[in-house]
Amino acid sequence: MTAARGRTEITELNRTPREQFVAALGWIFEDSPWVAERAWRSRPFSGREDLHQAMVREVESASHEEQLALVRAHPDLGARARMSAASASEQTGAGLDRMPPADYESLMALNSRYRERFGFPFLYAVKGSSSRDLIRALEARIEALPEEEFREALRQIYRIAGFRLEGLF
């Protein structure tokens, strides 16, 4: 698929066969190409936001097990482990790779408590945020009720996907 000035055009995506569409957008929702594959059926898209909403609808209509697998596909924030290129770039952009040791240790301890409490990683759309913003959000959200936090995790995933699509178009 060609792209004008390195960016994807929605008209091109609307004409793209399913396999190419999934290859181009399967990474938008972390390690969950099924979202793009299902959203492909909603073409044509009027623009980036229309595409984003179609993808969100597919996640919302997915089974709880599929949603949970999507949430669990994300890495722990600040973890120096294998993660997708998109996640690594987003975390670097928020300065998570340059945290002072005390903040990093605090983040790792909170991540561990959070994962133990909820059974999935803490999700936060880090674009435009600092590592301190992230720690404050984690401290506040660790006390949430499990169902409320699951919904918040999905909202954060939708924000992350929106930022990723914004960078693509």
Catalytic residues: 74
Query: Rounded CA gap, 19 and 36, in Å?
Result: 10
Handedness of CA 117, 162, 74, 78 (dihedral sign): negative
Residue 44 CA, chain-centre distance (Å), reads: 23
Nearest partner of 94 among 28, 168, 160, 26, judged by Cα: 160
Query: Rounded CA gap, 164 and 27, in Å?
Result: 9
Query: Rounded CA gap, 12 and 1, in Å?
Result: 7
Helical H runs in the chain?
10-15, 18-25, 34-39, 48-61, 64-72, 85-93, 101-118, 131-141, 146-168
